[in-house]
Structure 1
Amino acid sequence: MQIEIRENHFLLLSQKAIFWQETQTLLIGDLHLGKITHFRKEGIAVPYIAADNNFERLNEIVRNTGATRIIFLGDLFHNKYNAEWETFRAWRSQHFYIEMIIVIGNHDVLPVSMFLEADLQVFVDDFEEENFVFTHHPKVEPDPSKFVFAGHVHPVFTTYGKGRQSLRLPCFVVDQNQAILPSFGVFTGGFQMELVDNRKIYITTETKVFSVG
């Protein structure tokens, strides 16, 4: 699904990321790497295959888009250091040719030095380029002269069938001056979003993105 924002073109990917075509940039929010390992240490039976899914989808979108840059919109790593960080470092070294930027999120509690050592450019607050702002927390009142891309919320939307059955799916939320990305990471939950004036919602399945409303 391609949308146009401020005369730039963005592909909404079923893998729950956005590809900014003019700059060959992937926008990815809320991986929460390390969360599954953390839960397993706490005795919650989450299969390791769930963690593998994150890296499989990362590899897929890098391969399919030919991205030369990735901007992580915060919450790249969920908690304190665990073994998943080493998996990420290995993945990052395999993709040394891609520029990577992180805007720090509320769950990114690892020392900034660890992100720098993994060859990520770090922005504690917003990262701005042209008339776009890349951040973790959505803006309550975005500057109308700029357009914001944010994460944090883990937006989902519920659709209803004729037989009262319902389906709750991750979604992209695009308002007049701001877009909120779904959580890229698996096992992260979600916050129900509603259609309001000047808002478009795009739900994503494992294979397709659909506009609703």
Structure 2
Amino acid sequence: MTQIEIRNNHFDLLTQKAIFWQEKRTLLIGDLHLGKITHFRKEGIAVPQIAAENNFERLDELADNTKASRIIFLGDLFHNKYNAEWEMFSAWRAKYHFIEMIIVIGNHDVLPVSLFLENNIDVYKNDFEEDHFIFTHHPKVELDPSKFVFAGHVHPVFTSYGKGRQSFRLPCFVVDKCQAILPSFGVFTGGFGVNLIAGRKIYMLTEERVFVVG
């Protein structure tokens, strides 16, 4: 875990590919893409079912370890049309009925809004804003310097090069002056390579640690 400070608020960057907002006891989670693994399996692609279970194991870890009172999903919670993974998610949500949950709709969230509402999840079709922080799915191109944006969608990964031809490519948090992009939480969701530019910090993560490279 690595903590960063933004606008006098403290945010923990977690190895489970999520952020914990200390002052609000709020978890930020982007791009679970639940349902994708079950869809692959139905199409005959050999993705082990244990991969779907891994998503829920990490969700349990986050809820139990942080004692969060709220979770904000930054879009693409469910990747596809209704399948058995939605029932798994509904059961998981019922287990944490005492946690407030919010979703900002992403481009892959094609399920009826009624399903989210039935599971006691507040739905925002665009942005959710609180205390000069904006929570959204797509990163903003035009940024208001008086506000700070948390977004998903991109699935950022960064490639670090060592001596010789050694390199490794890992998911990362991208933190710019007025915007942070979270890595994709879900398993088997791919990644988009990002670059280190002026004023940007990149936090690569493994299962054991988070470390800054810029």
Smaller-chain TM-score bracket: over 0.9
* Structure 1 runs not aligned, ≥5 long: none
Report the equivalent of 1:143: 144
Work out the CA distance in 1 between the residues paired with 2:173 and 2:153: 12
Report the equivalent of 1:176: 177
Runs of 4+ more than 4 Å apart: none
The correspondence of residues 185-196 of structure 1 with structure 2, limited to 5 A, is 185-196=186-197
TM-score by structure 1 length? 0.99
| Code of the aligned partner of 2:181 | I
Work out the CA distance in 1 between the residues paired with 2:107 and 2:208: 30
Identity %: 77
Structure 1 residues 112-121 or 159-168, which shifts more?
159-168
| Code of the aligned partner of 1:205 | T
The correspondence of residues 104-143 of structure 1 with structure 2, limited to 5 A, is 104-143=105-144
Work out the CA distance in 1 between the residues paired with 2:35 and 2:164: 39
> Helix, strand or coil: the match of 1:210?
strand
Work out the CA distance in 1 between the residues paired with 2:48 and 2:168: 24
Report the equivalent of 1:25: 26
TM-score by structure 2 length? 0.99
Report the equivalent of 1:81: 82
Report the equivalent of 2:39: 38
Equivalent residues, number:
213
The alpha carbon displacement at 1:163 in A equals 3.0
Report the equivalent of 2:91: 90
Work out the CA distance in 1 between the residues paired with 2:144 and 2:111: 30
Report the equivalent of 2:16: 15
RMSD: 0.5
